[in-house]
């Protein structure tokens, strides 16, 4: 799980929105499947992406819902 989370966080920084969107969605999948994420790192990273790329806000909100539900 740590490797997958780290990889997703790395790709959140991508300038290609579809790559960042996939990383956001993958964090939600990790939360759903593993029931665990480092919330001290993941939550601020998602907020940063939401501010940087407002078009990804819906994807971020969906992932935050998954995190809240499954972790």
pTM for this predicted structure: 0.94
Domain that holds residue 43: 2-70
| Residue 52 structure tokens | 């940087």
How many domains does the chain fold into?
A: 1
Output the average pLDDT for the chain. Answer: 97
- Alpha helix (H) ranges present in 1-71? 2-12, 17-34, 39-52, 57-70
SS3 at position 56:
helix
**Residues with Cβ < 8 Å from 34, sequence gap 6 or more?**
1
Tell me the CB-side half-sphere exposure of residue 45, using CA atoms within 13 A: 22
CA angle 34, 43, 29 (to 5 degrees): 30
What's the pLDDT tens digit per position in 8-27?
Answer: 999 999 999 999 999 999 99
Residue 1 pLDDT > 80: no
pLDDT of residue 48: 97
| Percentage, residues of the chain above pLDDT 90 | 99
| Percentage, residues of the chain above pLDDT 70 | 100
Give the CATH number for residue 62.
1.25.10
């Amino acid at each position: 799980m740590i490797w997958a989370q780290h990889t997703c966080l790395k790709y959140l920084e991508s300038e290609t929105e579809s790559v960042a969107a996939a990383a956001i969605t993958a964090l939600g999948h990790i939360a759903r499947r593993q029931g665990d994420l480092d919330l001290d790192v993941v939550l601020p990273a998602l907020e940063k992406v939401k501010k940087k790329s407002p078009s990804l806000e819906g994807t971020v909100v969906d992932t935050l819902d998954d995190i809240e539900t499954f972790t």
